[in-house]
A and B are shown apart, each in its own frame.
Chain A
């Protein structure tokens, strides 16, 4: 009984998603055309314009009758941001054999999330387990653990675990107790100790929150003083089938991202089966023994083509965020 309810719900959601997507695309297409034409109507009144309708026929329309169409909003799909996308479990695979500390991932993440503090969300660590073992570069994001310590200790449900695996933060509810930061063993969380000076974009971002965006899926846009931030696996992008920024920014194909249920991860160039990748390359997770069950897998740094030392040029011990003037 439960199963058929779930599957009919899935089908409904699936269809709803497809319908919404097609509506959005055609709506955008039509509105773009209409918008351009309406700009001309200011100059030419009483001229006919050639427009294409939704079924592809060309028609002649009086330009005065053409008005701008607003963007269709995504609220049409009954989507609960605290629940997330159904039937998905997002995972990331980081191939340590390829990382050369180019730090393009870090700058892309910093740029797209307007990170202005001293502490980047994505850090590339210089690691060396012991004196005899090889040093390597290790990028870390939030692990979006399946048994998240941070979520367990949050007193006000400001950080939460979604159905699709993402652990997100509601900056409107966070009281700034920093218990989650104390709980995270991966030191991945960042606190806004002061007013984040994200510049004029802050006002635009705040306006967007009230109309279009949902702050929970747009972490750091804006950041709020006295609350916690962290890597969010870019839900604003992955919702639109666009890979997270770090994945696309990496010139060496280090980051793979995908849906574990689909057993597929991609770094933009290669698309591979996750299970095979983890078996072939002996994937592991950080601090597995702590029982946090992270969603980020690492591939060991073997057979490296580039020397570790070449990454040292980029290495800044005391800086992870480029400050603009």
Chain B
């Protein structure tokens, strides 16, 4: 138990140093930092926190790159450090955990996470707390009467009971942002939804990756289940990369251009060599 105390001591010393240095600085006006944290749980995969540090500087909202954020798991009175993350050029950072087992819930079975920023010469220290309970979505692809559906159930992992009346979103996983299929699917008395999959959605080899998402709920954060539905239109590769075209690289020259110019060139050089040979013949005779 000594470790957290040492950490607090170090924090105090560091803070007082900062305070001291700032009092010597000439007009060290520190900007207030706002931390945003979103908790996302992906079923049968990882859990992550999307963090962002922003501040209002000269009336404008800017993102803060390259600052260190410390993530703690707060269990009742204990603060366990989970790790650190540094924001990228966009002021964002993603802190990933393998699953929820790596953190401990408090006595009310709520997970509490605190993200803190120590502050530096330009920005004041701040922290942000988020809390959430563990929920799961079980999603499957079903075919009923030759119509394709996604069936999903929202379960509260604490009580192992279904959650009624929550709005789930159905979307297709895409490269940059997901493509929305249907929003506001409310879970019924069984905590389930049954949504038909529209036709005509393209996917590699006809497979569409569908996400069933509980978006930013106050109680459970964001929970996402990924299910593969092999009911898409297979992608047809239209690329001419493998063909012989006028714009392909040298290795794929069209045959006409490979044969005719080379024949002509070789033919003409053949004549030229014959002529030069004639010069030698004249020389010898």
Contacts and interface: CB of A to CB of B under 8 A. Distances in A.
Interface in A32-76: 32-33, 36, 50, 52, 54-58
A187 interface: no
B181 to A, nearest CB: 10
B138 interface: no
B86 interface: yes
B175 A271 contact: no
Interface in B95-116: 95-99, 101-102
B241 A32 contact: no
Given A7-B205, A146-B240, A36 B84 contact: yes
Contacts of B97: 56
Contacts of A271: 174, 176-180
Interface in A240-267: 241-243, 257-259, 261-264, 266
Contact of A152 (B81, B84, B99, B247): B247
Interface stretch (B30-38, B139-147, B231-239): B231-239
Nearest to A48: B3
B235 A87 contact: yes
A264 B83 contact: no
Interface stretch (A155-163, A211-219, A311-319): A155-163
B234 to A, nearest CB: 10
Nearest to B178: A271
Nearest to A147: B247
Contacts of B201: 263
A190 B235 CA distance: 35
A152 B102 contact: no
A37 B267 CA distance: 72
A83 interface: yes
B202 interface: yes
Interface bracket on A: 35 or more
B273 interface: no
A52 B235 contact: no
B204 A52 contact: no
B249 interface: yes
A261 B235 contact: yes
Given A50-B3, A243-B176, A82 B83 contact: no
A259 B204 contact: no
B82 to A, nearest CB: 7
Given A50-B81, A258-B174, A26 B96 contact: yes
Contacts of B281: none
B246 interface: yes
A56 B99 contact: yes
21 contacts: A7-B205, A10-B205, A50-B3, A52-B82, A52-B102, A56-B98, A56-B101, A56-B102, A57-B102, A58-B102, A87-B235, A151-B247, A157-B249, A160-B249, A161-B240, A161-B247, A162-B241, A241-B176, A261-B235, A262-B175, A271-B178
Interface of A: 7, 10, 14, 25-26, 29, 32-33, 36, 50, 52, 54-58, 82-83, 87-89, 146-148, 151-152, 157, 160-165, 238, 241-243, 257-259, 261-264, 266, 268, 271-273
Given A264-B174, A271-B179, 18 more contacts: A10-B205, A14-B204, A25-B94, A33-B84, A52-B102, A82-B249, A87-B204, A89-B238, A161-B240, A161-B241, A161-B247, A163-B237, A163-B241, A238-B176, A258-B174, A261-B202, A264-B175, A271-B177
